[in-house]
Structure 1
Amino acid sequence: MLKTIDLFAGAGGITEGFRKAGYVCVCANDIDEEAKHTFTYNHPTVPFVLKDVREVTAAELLAAANCTAAEIDVITGGPPCQGFSLAGQRLSDDPRNTLFREYVRIAADIRPRVLFFENVHGIMNMQNGRVLKAIVTEFEKIGYQCKYNLVNAADYGVPQARPRFVLIGIRGFDKKITFPQPTHGKNEESGQMNLFKRELLPYVTVNDAFSNLPVVNQGEGAEKMKMRNHYDNDFQKKCVGERNPGVIYNHRATRHSKAIQERYAMIPQGCNNSILPPEIRTKKQNAYKLDLSLPGRTVTCNFRTDLIHPVMNRGLTVREAARLQSFDDDYCFFGNLTRKAKWLTQDDQVGNAVPPLLAYAFAKHIKENMIPQFEKEK
């Protein structure tokens, strides 16, 4: 059984994807109490170290996992990268670099076979690419060959056009790193141009994700609801939970004022509120109404105001956003719905998560293509 340690685990999107690919997460770490609540409810057998990563040692993680370093196959995670600072061509000692350095420190101490590092797509262009070069250099210093790319979650069956940066590091410099081939996309018309291309499944759309969810109007819904046994497509069947099938969580809609509802009603699908007449337009210009026929826009931590339901004149519920992120329906999120609390909200946890289906695609590929390269070392 392949074993992982999940750093900056949050709500557990990476752990969930790797779990479905047959891995066992033996320890997770995050600093947020509500993220821990969500993670441990959905992964009750995984030890969780609730602590600032800067205060965590590799020995502490291994003790919690009841494992030796040699047993760890993959370390996963994506430390916040905002504010990376360079000194010349190298990452400086600026405190804003600290979290990434902790990831490197723990990886250097444990030395897993593979590193799975996920982050925002903008990391590729920070300081004209010098930040990315410095990050790769840090991984190479501790003995990892790296390959990175910008990927789109929609290409792997997630109903969301979410661009993300993914880096795979493999221990040693004598091994081959590849990325999983997309499974979904737009197929060209049949003919000579398509003779040698793989046939892709069509993108999973917002309609594919939403069509069988209970109808929830303004201010309606509940934290726990029964789900009717009706599925319109394969994606919806994949969303049936293994833990508590027939139940969905976190499907509560915000109540909007009449003026907001009227504004939302005037926005066509696939457009944002900049299309509105100037006299009723607000300062916020990025409220986007989802298009039923396309994968959704990127789910942010502000999806209640950034993303408008394609049919109902309201923001999304946590469950709808979780569907766009490819979480199972019985994956329950804990925490407040507003930012008055000290800890992460449900919205933050969903918006920050790595889509489990994206994590699954990489986990499966690593299992089949990266890990076997270590067999000769045993």
Structure 2
Amino acid sequence: MLRAVSLFSNVGIAETYFADLDIHVAVANELVPQRAEFYRHLYPKTNMIVGDITDAKIYSQIITEAKKGPVDFLIATPPCQGMSIAGEMNPYDERNSLVKYAIDAILDLRPTYVLIENVPQQLTTPINYEGTEITIPEYIEKRIGAFYNINAEKVLDTMDYGVPQMRRRAIFLCADKATGINWVFPKKEKHIVTLEEAFAGIPDLWPNIKEKEYRNVLPPNTPEALAFNKWHQPMTHVWRNVECMLYTPTGNTAYDNPVHYPKKTNGERVKGYDTAYHRMFWNKPSSTITTYNFRIGSQNNVHPGSPWKKDENGDMMYTNPRVLTIYELMIVSSLPKDWDIPQWATDNLIRTVIGEGIPPLLIKKLLLQII
């Protein structure tokens, strides 16, 4: 069994398949108490230390507990909101410097293997080191390059490894030089899992409508569809957003609709990027799942849908004018269909942590390179 440490742990999505690999996370750290409690629910045998790693007392506690046994593996997924194109894209966001604490921990614990994961923008993000501004990859190389072999190729797309989601990530794979191992990415897989394959057998769902006067416009969901899975339940959307997606074909944006385009409450056309109010494609993996996966008007969030029927004007309408259900998010994020979500977790919390989590099937396949 490999003894591991997890930093910036979220709810432990990356660790989902560790048990399959005989990896036990002995110590984990998460800032947000609610997420830490979610983690404890999933991994009751892990010593979860809740608090800010930048607090000297919390950091010391992490290191002290980790040193109670050998540390074979360390995984760190520092927050990416400051770098992400779905976030603020501020290169000087203080959260971008949290990687420093991961590197401090690596030097204090000297794990045999290390995996650091973030958005590709990390590779060009500046960070201050000894009074000089350098990129994060240069910073990592300067601090631990003497002790670890670090992979040269650092960007991959999860869809190339059996995950039905297009999600580019920057990943540092580090192996202690004493092992003689150069830990690299696996070969890309030839088969790309599309949504047509991933969603096979999942019943259609109509969204719930917020405004009472529009609640009878769409057909009711069948009892069979609602009973399919506890987490396959429709979200509630405002009618004007549902209406524009009702007339939007698979793989298209409602901005291109001549009549049923995105509107404000006063009927004025909404302006924005053409990735918004956008349906996914059946013949591709899903788009990148973000923390805003509950919004029809955010990036590529809407179910692909299928032709339904023509209205009185002869215009085609399409099914599933809604965002993905939590169950569908689990599928495209490579989480198990019986993922043990705690009963107390809110839909908002679940959607947010899935949007921030790296697909665990990718992590499993990366670790298989060294197991």
TM-score normalised by structure 1 residue count = 0.74
Moved more, 261-270 or 15-24: 15-24
Contact 2:331 2:337 in 1 (8 A): yes
User: Is 1:357 the equivalent of 2:367?
Assistant: no
CA distance in 2, matches of 1:146, 1:359: 17
Q: Which residue of 2 aligns with 1:283?
A: 271
- Identical columns (%): 21
Structure 1 residue 15: deviation in Å? 1.2
1:224-277 deviations in Å (ceiling 9; x for gaps): x865xxxxxxxxxxxxxxxxxxxx553332122332222002222122333233
Contact 2:160 2:192 in 1 (8 A): yes
Contact 2:254 2:260 in 1 (8 A): no
CA distance in 1, matches of 2:159, 2:34: 28
CA distance in 2, matches of 1:178, 1:67: 26
| Equivalent residue runs for 1:1-378 within 5 Å | 1-55=1-55, 60-61=61-62, 64=65, 67-68=68-69, 71-81=70-80, 83=82, 95-126=94-125, 130-140=134-144, 143-147=147-151, 148-172=153-177, 175-184=180-189, 200=190, 202-219=191-208, 248-277=229-258, 280-281=261-262, 282-285=270-273, 286-305=276-295, 306=298, 307-311=301-305, 312-331=320-339, 332=341, 335-338=345-348, 345-367=349-371
Structure 1 residue 278: deviation in Å? 7.7
Contact 2:248 2:279 in 1 (8 A): yes
Q: Greater helix percent: which structure?
A: 1
Matched residue type, 2:365: A
Contact 1:17 1:363 in 2 (8 A): no
Moved more, 54-63 or 326-335: 54-63
Contact 1:263 1:280 in 2 (8 A): yes
1:301-332 deviations in Å (ceiling 9; x for gaps): 11122310112011111221121100012221
Structure scoring higher RCO (CA < 8 A, sep ≥ 6) equals: 1
Contact 1:108 1:142 in 2 (8 A): no
1:173-194 deviations in Å (ceiling 9; x for gaps): 783423232352xxxxxxxxxx
Contact 1:32 1:50 in 2 (8 A): yes
Larger Rg: 2
Q: How many residues align?
A: 314
Give the secondary structure class of the aligned counterpart of 2:26.
strand
Contact 1:58 1:109 in 2 (8 A): no
Residues 1:63 and 1:303: Cα distance change in structure 2 (over 3 Å): same
Contact 2:17 2:361 in 1 (8 A): yes
The gaps in structure 2 that reach 5 residues or longer are: 84-90, 128-132, 209-220, 263-269, 306-319
CA distance in 1, matches of 2:9, 2:146: 22
Residues 1:313 and 1:94: Cα distance change in structure 2 (over 3 Å): closer
CA-based RMSD of the aligned residues comes to 3.1
